[in-house]
Structure formats: structure tokens, C-alpha cells
């Protein structure tokens, strides 16, 4: 009975066509909260208790500002949809967006990582993630039919913002994918688990971590770093910012413009006033 509200909430989000990644994130945050409050009914949790919970997440668990926004967003939507309440979580909201410059890998570091990824399936996964600038959630949702080798495109269905888009397919990645497909013969999803179904994000994260260790790259990097690196390297190679925006599926150009702060070629062409 304790899980009934969460199951119903999940069904509501599915009905309202929220992306699977958003649904998974929201439900996951609510399950963590449920565990923290030892299965106490959500309706009986006070604003003060939520304040202490978020304080615990921020100052003990060191969650990022983006995660904090997700937690608050899931709570607001949950109370609205399940209990018809417009709960005021104003004290829990991040007051100002952090404008952090994302970490990126160099092209040589990406090559080293792929060189030290010996398993063909793992190499295909990381290669496509970087080569097409995909989010991990988007990659795991790919079906075999989403790869178009004639047009050299990858179709991303219902990505962030619930929009379809096309991104590029590298000829080198296609070669790896063909070898992978021939050996592993996936049935529905492009990358599947050992017993069928979609591959897991957790397994993909372990692949990158192992490959970086083998390549002796000590940078702090995640699967999303490969996407950041894709965008930065395109910019350094002279690809226009609006084209990169479309490939990444950014709704707002401001999100894409962050890469202008880290593209080496752009920075290196600026002369110091002293010169």
C-alpha cells in the first residue's frame, strides 16, 4: 500500500507523455525520500521535515544544484497530482543557477579511452555516445532501426523536451557498430542487457570508469563528459554554434554557447591587449 501513490504517480507521468528519463528520475527521488522517512505517508510529512531532508541531501550527501532542482520539482509535481496540493517549497529551491564550465576530454584522451576499451560491445557504446553527442538516456533508448547508414544519421526519439531529432553518425563508429551487430545480434534495442531488454546506465558508467583507468586518465569524467567533448571538438573544428545546438537538441542557444568558453581554438585566436 505504501508504494501505491508512487505507482499511480508514475502512471500519470506516462499518460502526460513525460520522457522515460524524467519519470525514472522523479520516481527515484521520491523512493529515496520514502526510504529516508522510513515509509512515512507523504501526506503527513511537514514542510519543516522536507527542509531538513533537503538540508541532509545538500550538506551530507553533497548533491549538485541540478539534482536539488530535480528533487524539488518531483515533490511539487507529486503533491499536485496525487494530493491536489500546491505545496510551497520556495525555501528548498536553488536561488541562482550555477554557470559552471563543463569538463571535457581532449581528442587524444577520447582515442586513448576507446583504444583501451577491448570489449566490442563496450567500444561500440562509448564510440556512439561520443561520436553522435548523445545523452546516455537517449543512447539506451535507441532501436536498431534508429541507425540510418545511408544518410549517416542517428534518430533520437523523444529526447529531452520530448522532441525527436537527428544527429550525425560517424563512418568510423558505423564500422564498429557493424562488427558489434554481427557478433552480438541485438533483437530490439541497439544495446541490450545479457538477458534482453535495454542496457543499463549503471553498466555503461562502469565501462567508462574501467577504460579510463586502463588508459591512465585521471580526469574526473562521466558519460555526459563525452557529450560535452563532442560539442567542444565540433566547435574547435569550425562547426557553427547553431548546427551544434541542433545536433545536441538544445532548446535554448544559451545552453550551447557555454562551449564557446572551453573551445581551445576560439580562445587561442584572441590576442592579449599587451600584444
Interval 13-23: pLDDT, tens? 999 988 887 88
Give CA–CA dist 165/163, Å, rounded: 7
Contact criterion met (CB below 8 Å) for 65 and 72: no
Contact criterion met (CB below 8 Å) for 144 and 154: no
Residue range(s) of every CATH 1.10.443.10 domain in the chain:
107-268
pLDDT at 173 (0 to 100): 96
Which cell numbers hold the place of 64?
A: 549538485
Q: What is the DSSP letter of 147?
A: E
- According to CATH, the topology of domain 4-92 is DNA polymerase; domain 1 (1.10.150)
What is the second-level CATH architecture of the domain 107-268?
A: Orthogonal Bundle (1.10)
157 band by pLDDT with thresholds 50, 70 and 90: confident
Q: Residue 254, exposed/middle/buried by CB under 10 A (0-12, 13-18, 19+)?
A: exposed
E strand spans, 65-205:
147-148, 153-156, 165-168
Give CA–CA dist 270/152, Å, rounded: 35
pLDDT digits (tens, 9 = 90+) for 49-108: 999 999 999 988 888 888 898 999 999 999 999 999 998 888 888 776 555 677 889 999
275 band by pLDDT with thresholds 50, 70 and 90: very low
Judge whether residue 161 has pLDDT over 70: no
- Known catalytic residues are 135, 160, 224, 227, 250, 259
Q: pTM above the 0.85 mark?
A: no
Give CA–CA dist 177/3, Å, rounded: 41
Residue range(s) of every CATH 1.10.150.130 domain in the chain:
4-92
Amino acid at each position: 500500500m505504501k508504494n501505491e501513490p508512487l505507482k499511480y504517480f508514475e502512471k500519470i507521468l506516462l499518460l502526460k507523455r513525460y520522457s522515460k528519463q524524467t519519470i525514472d528520475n522523479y520516481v527515484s527521488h521520491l523512493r529515496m525520500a520514502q526510504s529516508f522517512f522510513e515509509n512515512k505517508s507523504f501526506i503527513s510529512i511537514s514542510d519543516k521535515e522536507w527542509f531538513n531532508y533537503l538540508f541532509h541531501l545538500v550538506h551530507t550527501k553533497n548533491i549538485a544544484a541540478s539534482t536539488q532542482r530535480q528533487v524539488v520539482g518531483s515533490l511539487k509535481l507529486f503533491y499536485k497530482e496525487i494530493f491536489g496540493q500546491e505545496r510551497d517549497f520556495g525555501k528548498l529551491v536553488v536561488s541562482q543557477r550555477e554557470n559552471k564550465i563543463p569538463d571535457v576530454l581532449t581528442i587524444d584522451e577520447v582515442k586513448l579511452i576507446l583504444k583501451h576499451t577491448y570489449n566490442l560491445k563496450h567500444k561500440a557504446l562509448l564510440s556512439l555516445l561520443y561520436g553522435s553527442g548523445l545523452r546516455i538516456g537517449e543512447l539506451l533508448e535507441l532501436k536498431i532501426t534508429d541507425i540510418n547508414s545511408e544518410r549517416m544519421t542517428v534518430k533520437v526519439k523523444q529526447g529531452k523536451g520530448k522532441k525527436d531529432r537527428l544527429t550525425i553518425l560517424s563512418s568510423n563508429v558505423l564500422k564498429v557498430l557493424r562488427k558489434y551487430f554481427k557478433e552480438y545480434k541485438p533483437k530490439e534495442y541497439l544495446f541490450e542487457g545479457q538477458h534482453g531488454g535495454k542496457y543499463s546506465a549503471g553498466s555503461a558508467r562502469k565501462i567508462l570508469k574501467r577504460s579510463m583507468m586502463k588508459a591512465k586518465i585521471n580526469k574526473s569524467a562521466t558519460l555526459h563528459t563525452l557529450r560535452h567533448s563532442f560539442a567542444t571538438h565540433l566547435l574547435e573544428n569550425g562547426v557553427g554554434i547553431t548546427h551544434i545546438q541542433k545536433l545536441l537538441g538544445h532548446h535554448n542557444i544559451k545552453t550551447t554557447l557555454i562551449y564557446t568558453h572551453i573551445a581551445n581554438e576560439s580562445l587561442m585566436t584572441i590576442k592579449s591587449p599587451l600584444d
